[in-house]
Structure 1
Amino acid sequence: MSVGFIGAGRMAQALGRGFISKGIVKPQKMVASDTSQSVLDVMKKQGIGTTTCNAEVVERSDLVVLAVKPHLVADVLQEISDFLTKEKMFVSIAAGVPLEVLESNLLLGTRVLRAMPNTACLVHAGATVVAPGKSIHSGDTSLVQTLFQTVGVCYVGTEDQLDAVTGLSGSGPAYAFTTIESLADGGVKMGLPRDMATKLAAQTLFGAAKMVLESGKHPGQLKDEVCSPGGTTITAMHALERGGFRGTIIDAVEASALKARKMGELELQKQEGRTLEIEQEVRMTKKMAEKN
C-alpha cells in the first residue's frame, strides 16, 4: 500500500514516523506535499518522498491523508478533483469538516473516513477515533485503525461522536498541560525549584493516567484509595471541589465540543452555498444555449 499526505505538518510527520517504526508502510511508499519547504525537509529526512504538487500525491497513493487546515479542505479537494479515482481511499484529520462535505467534493462512491487524533501522537501516545463514511469497503476501517495505532490508541466511532471526541481528547492535552503547569506553580509556591516541580507534576499525571489504564479501576475508586481519613489528600480534594474543579473541566470539554459542532455546521453551509452557485451556473448555461 502507498500512502500520501496532503499537508506535511507535525501530525503528518508523526504518522509517517509511526508507520515506518512499526513497519506498516515503507518510507519509499510514502509521499507528502506542502507549500512549506521546511516541513517537507523533515519528511525527506525520514526517507519520505516530497512534492509541492497535491495532484502528484493523489496519483502516487492508494490512501491519501488530508492533513491541511479545515478552511483549506474544499479548495484542496477541488484542486485534485481531476486526478481522483474510486480506488483511492481518503482519510481526513481536519477538525470540523463533516463527511458530507468531503464526500460531496469527491467522486461518488469514494471511500472516505474522518479521524480525530490529538497532539500526543507526536510522542506515540496519541488518542484517535475514526469514523467511516458511506462508501467504505470491508476492512477499510480496521486498516485505518491499524495505521493510527502506530502512534497511540485508536477507537472506531461514529461521526456524531467526533465533536465530543474533539472536546475530550482532541483538546484534552491542553487541559493536561495547564494542570501540570498549575501543579508546578503550587510546588514552587511551597518552596520547590521550578525544574523539579514541573518534572514531578508531569510524572504525577503520567503515573495517574497509567494507573487508570492498567488497573481497570474507576478513577473515582483510585482517588478514594489515595484519600486517607483526615489526611492531606482529602483536604486538597475539598479545596478542588470548593473551586469548582470538576465542573470547570466538564465545561471546557463541552465548550470545545460545541465549537467543533459549530465549525461543522458552517462547513455544511458553505458547501450548500457552493452547490447553489453551481446549480445557478448550470441554469444560466442552459438559458444561453437555448437563446443561441
Structure 2
Amino acid sequence: MALEGVMRPGHAQIRVLELDAAVHFYRDVLGLVETGRDASGRVYFKCWDERDHHSIVLREAESAGIDFLGFKVRDDATLDRFEAKLAEAGIATTSLPAGDLLETGRRVRFTLPSGHEIELYATKTSVGNGMPMVNPAPWNEQSETGIAPVRFDHALLYGPNIADVKRIFVDILGFYLVERVLGPDGETETALWLSCGQKVHDIAFVEHPEPGKLHHCSFLMDSWEKVLRAGDIMSKNEISVDIGPTRHGITRGCTIYAWDPSGNRFETFQGGYYPYPDYETITWTWDAFPQGLDYPQRKLHESFLSIVT
C-alpha cells in the first residue's frame, strides 16, 4: 500500500521577490499560520488544519519559483529504503541533517530529470491545529482568517523528460498514474497526474523545455462555497486571478488560480474523486484538453500554458 511508503506532500520552499510583501500575503490574505523564522531569513507557514510544523517555506531571492518539494514518508526505515532504491537506480542523493529545516528531521534530496529538487523526510515536529485531541470542535478562529485553506495539497511542475520522471515516481517511490494528457501525436504523454494514496493527485508534471519550473502550489478548500469565498477575498485584496472560478475535467476539481505578489501561481482547489492504485488511468486526447482544463468553457487559457516561475 502506497501509504506505507510516501504518505503525502509535506512542504514546498517557494522563492519570493520581497519577503515582507510575501509574508503579508501568505499570512493575512491566504490565511496561513506563521510558525517560525530561521537564521537564514526563511519564514515558515502551515495551513490551519495541518498538524506538522510547516508546509510552506518562503525564501527571498532574485527570481520567483520553487527551490524544492518535500514528501513525508512513513518512518526512518522507509527513508533509508528509498535512499537505497534511488542509489540502486543510479540517482545521486544528498543527505541533509536534522534541523537544517526548522523542526524537521533528516532529509534525502535528489534531482529529477525535469530539473526539480525533490526530497523525502520521515519526521517533523507536530504543533497541532489549535484544537484538542479529545472532543475537538470542527473548526477554530484561524479557519476564518483570510482564504484559510485546509492543507497544502499538491504542486504542478513544468520541465523536460517527464517520461523519466514518471518512472522514478512509479517504479521507485510507489506512486501510480491517475490521469494523463496525450500530445498531438496521440502517443506522447505531455501531462501527468500522480498519486501516492487515495487523492486524485499529489503531484503533476507537464512537459516543458525549461527545467525546474513551478506552475502552481495548490491549497485544499473545504467546499465549493469556500472556493467562491476565496475569489471574493482575492478581489477585495486586488489579487490578480488567472482562471476561475471553474471546474476541471481532469481530476473533476473546482478551482481558482491566481498569483502571489512575486508572480508565483497558486490554486484554491476543492473536490476531485478518490481513486485507488488499481484504477485504470484516465487518458485525455489533445483535442479534448480544453475540456480537461476548463470544462464549462472548453478553453485552453494561454496564460495557464505559458506562464511559469
Provide TM-score, normalisation by structure 2. 0.24
TM-score, length of structure 1 as denominator length: 0.25
- Pair member with larger Rg: 1
Indicate the structure with greater helix content: 1
